[in-house]
Amino acid sequence: MIIKEAKFIMSNTRVEECPAPNKPEYAFIGRSNVGKSSLINMLTGQKGLAKTSASPGKTQLINHFLINDTWYLVDLPGYGYAKVSKGSRDDWRKMINYYFQKRENLSCVFLLIDSRHEPLKQDLDFINYLGELGVPFVLVFTKADKQSSVKTDSTIAGYKRTLQQTWDELPRIFVTSSEKKAGRDELLAFIDEVNAQVQL
């Protein structure tokens, strides 16, 4: 897939106010500071499309971007940021829950995981949560350029081992680096593949 156009459409906190669900939609989510904005910018080839920040927890809204006039890329607020109040966390949980359950054109969730860390409870809990909801998702390991491929492989193996204890079938796994543009072609090819199957 060649991305010819990527444009910001809207930000909001209400699923009812999202764009009409008439195009396939791909949502990106992960722990705060996982490199989500950098990955979105790398995928779309636009440096400033998703706003990156040195302070985690920057994204607090559902952000819609229209890609090639054919599908939506959605930047969702990150989870696990410690300096957010309990009330804000509860609001986030309700908003995300409602989005995942009600957004009928949601074709796949890209769950981003920092490849530098051994399996973390927050990420494992979120994987299981998506499984319970029955939402299609894949795992995207980020920041692979920050360490050796041996270390990245070890992290992925750790997640696989843990998940195999309770999962019959594991989700697809992608390895990325926003700095090196690694994994870009694979992710875009996957989206192409899913788009070809979606009927709206």
- Considering the domain boundaries, does residue 138 fall inside one? yes
- Considering the domain boundaries, does residue 149 fall inside one? yes
Number of domains into which the chain is organized = 1
Question: What is the DSSP code string of 50-118?
Answer: SPP-SSS----SEEEEEETTTEEEEEPPPB--TTS-HHHHHHHHHHHHHHHHH-TTEEEEEEEEETTSP
- Considering the domain boundaries, does residue 33 fall inside one? yes
Model confidence band, residue 93 (pLDDT cutoffs 50, 70, 90): confident
CB 98 within 8 A of CB 91: no
- Considering the domain boundaries, does residue 104 fall inside one? yes
Q: Look at residue 133 and tell me whether its pLDDT is greater than 60.
A: yes
- Considering the domain boundaries, does residue 94 fall inside one? yes
- Please write the tens of the pLDDT for every residue from 19-77: 999 999 999 999 988 999 999 999 999 888 887 655 545 557 899 999 999 999 999 98
Mean pLDDT of the chain: 91
- Considering the domain boundaries, does residue 105 fall inside one? yes
- Considering the domain boundaries, does residue 1 fall inside one? no
Q: What pLDDT does 83 receive?
A: 64
Q: Look at residue 166 and tell me whether its pLDDT is greater than 90.
A: yes
For residue 41, the domain's CATH number is 3.40.50.300
Question: Residue 130 belongs to what domain range?
Answer: 6-197
Distances (CA, A) of 157 to 52, 121, 122, 153, 164: 29, 16, 17, 6, 10
- Considering the domain boundaries, does residue 21 fall inside one? yes
Q: Look at residue 185 and tell me whether its pLDDT is greater than 70.
A: yes
CB 191 within 8 A of CB 28: no
